[in-house]
Amino acid sequence: MKVYQHVNIVTCDQDFHVYLDGILAVKDSQIVYVGQEKPEILEQAEQIIDYQGAWIMPGLVNCHTHSAMTGLRGIRDDSNLHEWLNDYIWPAEAEFTPDMTTKAVKEALTEMLQSGTTTFNDMYNPNGVEIEQIYQAVKASKMRCYFSPTLFSSEIETTTETITRTRGIIEEILGYENPNFKVMVAPHSPYSCSRDLLETSLDMAKELNIPIHIHVAETKEESGIILKRYGKRPLAFLEELGYLDHPSVFAHGVELNEREIERLATSQVAIAHNPISNLKLASGIAPIIQLQKAGVAVGIATDSVASNNNLDMFAAGRTSALLQTMK
């Protein structure tokens, strides 16, 4: 048994206990004791490591990011989401190569680990990505993730072709049978996917018994696009398709009204809150307090480096808390 001594420990137990100058014992890669120092624990130790003054806490979980975009840090400021995507991000991603994206993901893994993140939920543009290279990089990092290929509607592929190509990637990931490297079905958003693609994406998720990961209600412009296209706001449209009844992560949730929040509380949807990205792209402030009071599961996220400038979850958490003083 290995014991870390003289450490300050932050737990995530029911009462969020904090142990100052405590010990943490590990046996066979499992934590077997956390708390104040006990002689009987130290007597059983095969190795005692003095971590004087250090802090130990559970790893942070980044609930929504795009690690392959790490090479686009600083690509554009002072643009709203839709200008940023159409004029800068998507053209840049069209030039991606496997070498570029693998290097970007490795940089993201290092940055996340250095700031305490050990688990992340990733959605990536599959152009220029070799999934085996990414898998080996994540495996070597010992991090945990969902790494999900994004689906878009386009003029160069039919819905059937997009689904077939994406399913091949998903089945490759499932074939790894690695509990630390999983996958979701990730249609990009209601505005960038056709109704047919959204429906078939959900069908695939149900068939494979895996969750959905999608951007939803990020901007007023998105709400206007979906209202004009389908006569409904984004959440109501996705409810019509059945998305709210399938385990899902909805990234953003900025543009939600009271009725929509109440509906989310009875759904299988969790919200990934991206406060810094929402500020940088002038998207707004998500109603996190209202969502939590209603009983909706909410997690913190950084979004991509391109829309944040870093992958620091402590900064995201602090910004999230400060922003809610303005609501």
- The burial of 161, by beta-carbon neighbours within 10 Å (0-12 exposed, 13-18 middle, 19 or more buried), is given as exposed
Q: What is the C-alpha end-to-end distance of the chain, expressed in Å?
A: 49
Percent of the chain clearing pLDDT 90 (strictly above): 96
SS3 for 204? helix
278-322 residue pLDDT tens: 999 999 999 999 999 999 999 999 999 999 999 999 999 999 999
Q: Are residues 44 and 169 in the same domain?
A: no
Q: Are residues 22 and 69 in the same domain?
A: no
What's the domain range around 207? 60-324
Q: Are residues 265 and 303 in the same domain?
A: yes
Going across the sheet that includes 298-300, the strands are 212-216, 248-252, 269-273, 298-300
Q: What local confidence, expressed as pLDDT, does residue 327 receive?
A: 63
Q: Are residues 38 and 65 in the same domain?
A: no
Q: Are 251 and 301 in contact (CB under 8 A)?
A: yes
Q: Are residues 251 and 180 in the same domain?
A: yes
Query: For residues 30 and 269, what is the distance between their CA atoms, to the nearest angstrom?
Result: 31
**What torsion, rounded to 10 degrees, do the Cα atoms 190, 191, 197, 202 define?**
-10
Q: Are residues 236 and 184 in the same domain?
A: yes
178-199 residue pLDDT tens: 999 999 999 999 999 999 999 9
Q: What local confidence, expressed as pLDDT, does residue 90 receive?
A: 94
Q: Are residues 155 and 24 in the same domain?
A: no
Please state the rounded mean pLDDT for residues 114-130: 96
Query: For residues 164 and 319, what is the distance between their CA atoms, to the nearest angstrom?
Result: 40
Q: Are 70 and 107 in contact (CB under 8 A)?
A: yes
Q: What local confidence, expressed as pLDDT, does residue 142 receive?
A: 97
Q: Are residues 144 and 290 in the same domain?
A: yes
Give the number of domains in the chain.
2
DSSP per-residue codes, 109-129: HHHHHHTTEEEEEEEE--TT-
Is the model's pLDDT at 13 over the cut of 80?
yes
- 6: which 2 tokens? 């003289």
76-91 residue pLDDT tens: 999 999 999 999 999 9
196-252 residue pLDDT tens: 999 999 999 999 999 999 999 999 999 999 999 999 999 999 999 999 999 999 999
Q: Are residues 157 and 86 in the same domain?
A: yes
Query: For residues 244 and 250, what is the distance between their CA atoms, to the nearest angstrom?
Result: 10
Q: Are residues 273 and 301 in the same domain?
A: yes
Q: How confident is the model at residue 326 (pLDDT cuts 50, 70, 90)?
A: confident
Please state the rounded mean pLDDT for residues 249-258: 98
Least confident range from 17-21, 49-53, 144-148: namely: 49-53
